[in-house]
Amino acid sequence: MTEKVLFTGKTHNTNGRDGGTRSSDGQLELKLKQPHPAAENLFGAAWSACYMGAIEAAAGQRSIKLPAGLAVDAEIDLNVDDGSYFLRARLNVSVPGVDPEIARELLHAAHGICPYSKATHGNIDVVTNLI
């Protein structure tokens, strides 16, 4: 197997009242005053976008045409227990026009495709809801 890097995301982050983040390609620039749940929001946005692409890939592998309206809402919780911080996540997915049983199969398959799902598997509690 020959590994190939498809893309490298590069960001620069600063803290404080004038803190923020920006990507090297200029596609992302946000002012983030402290404290701010930026990490959880950005992680949720990145994961849900990737997971949606994985659902599309899973559907393509099964020759299932997805109608318009596929959507993923990510909820990322930052928790603390006895001084230890950890994450929990909920992915609420809408696949309108697809039989719910087939949609559930696609959601399950997408977790095996999405790099974010693979990275979090076994590391954080994740609940995937078909809505």
Report the pLDDT averaged over residues 20-33: 90
pLDDT band at residue 38 under the 50/70/90 scheme: confident
Which residue ranges does the chain devote to CATH 2.20.25.10? 1-34
Asked if residue 43 has pLDDT above 90, the reply is yes
| Region 1-34: CATH code | 2.20.25.10
pLDDT band at residue 35 under the 50/70/90 scheme: low
pLDDT at 39: 86
Asked if residue 17 has pLDDT above 90, the reply is no
Q: What is the DSSP string of 33-95?
A: PSS--HHHHHHHHHHHHHHHHHHHHHHHHTTPPPPTT-EEEEEEEEEEETTEEEEEEEEEEE-
Which residue ranges does the chain devote to CATH 3.30.300.20? 36-130
Phi, psi dihedrals of residue 124, rounded to the nearest 5°: -140, 155
pLDDT tens digits along 61-99: 999 999 899 999 999 999 999 999 999 999 999 999 999
Q: Quick one: what percent of the chain has pLDDT higher than 90?
A: 82
Asked if residue 123 has pLDDT above 70, the reply is yes
The rounded distance, in Å, linking the Cα atoms of 79 and 102 is 33
| Region 36-130: CATH code | 3.30.300.20
The rounded distance, in Å, linking the Cα atoms of 67 and 70 is 7
